[in-house]
């Protein structure tokens, strides 16, 4: 075969290529992002609009229907469903699996903007939410202690800012604690007595609680920007706001209302071991390395731990990187076990050196696969790791055929180069055909439609990459190594043993001869065995 012949005759080039493969594969393996599941695009989008204090019927009339009317003209949509609940409208759009979600997201936002003028002014702005697997938390941290929820919330917010500064972190959600809230509780009778309404208080507070630009001031060559600070520093300042003049007498906020410095109504509660706590959920960006992010978060927690108040403790209650470490460790253990088993089995039939030639197909094929996966932007996730483990048993098939045939020609007296060229050329096309049939069995899975198809498509792609790498190793690397290092023994007894003529193979030869001499009975027995298996 031309490729194998060229590799054998230019062994130095192949050895240099082998060194490059080793370095590229190891580098790719160390840099491949680790995550539990593939980051796939889910063709669903939610449009959430909040309108507090409004009944479901009014939510449907005022929010859901106007937005749905604009969304009807969207293309590539499978279905649009909506839920109108008290104070909120949730519209779900299901797109066709083949749609470009980035383009679809832009179109949905345009449609929502078009519906905005028809929505009530006091309703919150609609939120367009894209659903992706990367938004699920990868780590959860609980902060508990006997310092009160206010202090725990402050500690959680400080830690939240620090974690969001880590490269690869998308956001950190904080649950639990209480949030400060300044409330103006007005007396309706007093407002009516002064001829005022609640909106007058709102307008007065909004107008006063602002920082006003003051222009610029030039002093010589220097120019200074001026501003007039007006934001409230103390809630008590609100009491002195003037709402109107009543017969020359100013009406203050304190005349009609009470300013309360309190806390918002608790909407979320977090507990840890029965104690009130705050919880932080860490989300990563798509394609980032979960293991690295979790390690950096743990380092940050260890660094901040000594500065916490007495009695406050931080506990990691969920860490997805542990499962990923276990999966990667399983892969590494399987590779090592496969190497030892292959060496042991092949050594029994072909000797130590030849068994090493065959066993090398596993790590070299894996390193090539890692380099290709990294170049394609894949991650080491559960589907890719399962595919690699599944392919382990098939990586040596081609190498066994090539190396064994080369060894047979060496036993016949040919030199290493001629044996490698002849032995490879004789079985090259059967090996290619065998690998192609295996690849064809997995290839249709690439076109599996839907979300599950996109999720599982990593399996056939990884298998195709890995088995193609093993074919390259069998046709290029193995013949070159055999041409450079293969040795044969001239001991007839060892030759006979290494040729596979053991007691087991003698028994097999006699059984095969009996089957060929009684072919009709063999076929009837096989048919009966098939029927028995089906039953």
DSSP structural state of residue 221: T
- Long-range contacts at 109-116 (CB < 8 A, ≥ 24 apart): 111/67, 111/70, 111/71, 111/73, 111/74, 112/47, 112/67, 112/70, 114/70, 115/66, 115/67, 115/69, 115/70
Reduced to 3 states (helix: H, G, I; strand: E, B; else coil), residue 231 is coil
The H or E element containing residue 293 is helix 290-304
Q: Do you know the residue count of the chain?
A: 535
What is the model's pLDDT at position 462?
92
Residue 490 has pLDDT above 70, yes or no: no
Question: Are the CB atoms for 508 and 36 separated by under 8 Å?
Answer: no
In terms of DSSP bridges, do strands 139-144 and 313-319 run parallel, antiparallel, or are they unpaired? antiparallel
Rounded CA gap, 452 and 445, in Å?
A: 11
Tens of pLDDT, residue by residue over 221-273, are 777 777 777 777 788 878 888 888 777 788 888 888 888 887 777 777 777 77
pLDDT 10s digits, 292-339: 899 999 999 999 888 888 888 888 888 888 888 887 788 778 777 877
What is the helix (H) or strand (E) element at residue 64, kind and residue range? none
The confidence score (pLDDT) of residue 499 equals: 47
Which of 257, 260, 240 lies closest to 192, judged by CA? 257
Sheet holding 127-132, edge to edge: 77-85, 88-95, 41-50, 127-132
pTM attached to this predicted model: 0.67
Instruction: pLDDT band for 500, please (50, 70, 90 cuts).
Output: very low
| In contact, 355 and 342? CB cutoff 8 Å | yes
């Amino acid at each position: 075969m031309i490729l194998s012949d060229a590799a054998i005759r230019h062994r130095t080039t192949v050895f240099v290529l082998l060194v490059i493969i080793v370095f590229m594969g190891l580098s790719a393996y160390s840099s491949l992002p680790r995550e539990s599941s593939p980051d796939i695009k889910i063709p669903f989008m939610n449009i959430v609009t909040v309108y507090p204090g409004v009944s479901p019927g009014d939510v449907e009339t005022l929010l859901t229907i106007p937005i749905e009317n604009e969304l009807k003209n969207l293309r590539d949509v499978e279905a649009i469903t909506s839920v109108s609940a008290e104070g909120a409208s949730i519209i779900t759009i299901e797109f066709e699996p083949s749609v470009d979600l980035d383009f679809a997201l832009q179109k949905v936002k345009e449609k929502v903007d078009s519906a905005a003028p028809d929505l009530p002014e006091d309703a919150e702005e609609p939120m367009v939410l894209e659903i992706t697997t990367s938004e699920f938390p990868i780590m959860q941290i609980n902060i508990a202690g006997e310092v009160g929820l206010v202090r725990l919330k402050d500690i959680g917010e400080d830690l939240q800012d620090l974690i969001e500064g880590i490269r690869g972190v998308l956001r950190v959600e904080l649950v639990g604690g209480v949030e400060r809230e300044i409330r103006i509780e007005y007396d309706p009778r007093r407002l009516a007595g002064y001829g005022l309404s609640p909106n007058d208080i709102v307008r007065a507070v909004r107008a006063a609680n602002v920082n006003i630009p003051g222009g610029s001031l030039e002093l010589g060559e220097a120019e200074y920007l001026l501003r007039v600070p007006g934001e409230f520093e103390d809630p008590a300042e609100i009491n002195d706001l003037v709402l109107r003049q009543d017969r020359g007498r100013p009406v203050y906020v304190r005349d009609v209302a009470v300013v309360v410095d309190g806390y918002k109504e608790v909407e979320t509660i977090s507990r840890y071991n029965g104690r009130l706590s705050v919880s932080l959920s860490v989300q990563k960006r798509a394609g980032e390395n979960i293991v690295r992010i979790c390690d950096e978060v743990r380092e940050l927690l260890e660094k901040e731990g000594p500065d916490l108040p007495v009695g406050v403790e931080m506990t990691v209650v969920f860490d997805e990187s542990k499962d990923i470490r276990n999966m990667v460790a399983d892969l590494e253990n399987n590779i090592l076990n496969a190497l030892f088993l292959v060496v042991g089995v092949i050594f029994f039939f072909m000797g130590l050196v030849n068994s090493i030639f065959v066993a090398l197909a596993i790590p070299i094929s894996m390193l090539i696969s890692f380099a290709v996966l990294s170049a394609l932007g894949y991650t080491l996730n559960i589907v890719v790791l399962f595919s690699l483990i599944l392919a382990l048993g098939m990586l040596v098939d081609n190498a066994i055929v090539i190396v064994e045939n080369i060894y047979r020609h060496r036993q016949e007296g040919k030199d290493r180069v001629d044996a490698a060229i002849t032995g490879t050329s004789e079985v090259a096309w059967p090996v290619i055909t065998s690998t192609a049939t295996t690849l064809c069995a997995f290839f249709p899975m690439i076109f599996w439609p839907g979300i599950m198809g996109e999720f599982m498509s990593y399996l056939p792609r990884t298998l195709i990459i890995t088995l193609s790498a093993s074919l390259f190793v069998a046709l290029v690397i193995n013949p070159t190594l055999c041409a450079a290092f293969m040795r044969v023994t001239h001991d007839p007894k060892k030759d006979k043993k290494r040729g596979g003529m053991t007691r087991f193979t003698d028994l097999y030869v006699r059984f095969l001869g009996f089957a060929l001499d009684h072919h009709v009975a063999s076929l009837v027995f096989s048919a009966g065995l098939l029927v028995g298996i089906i039953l």
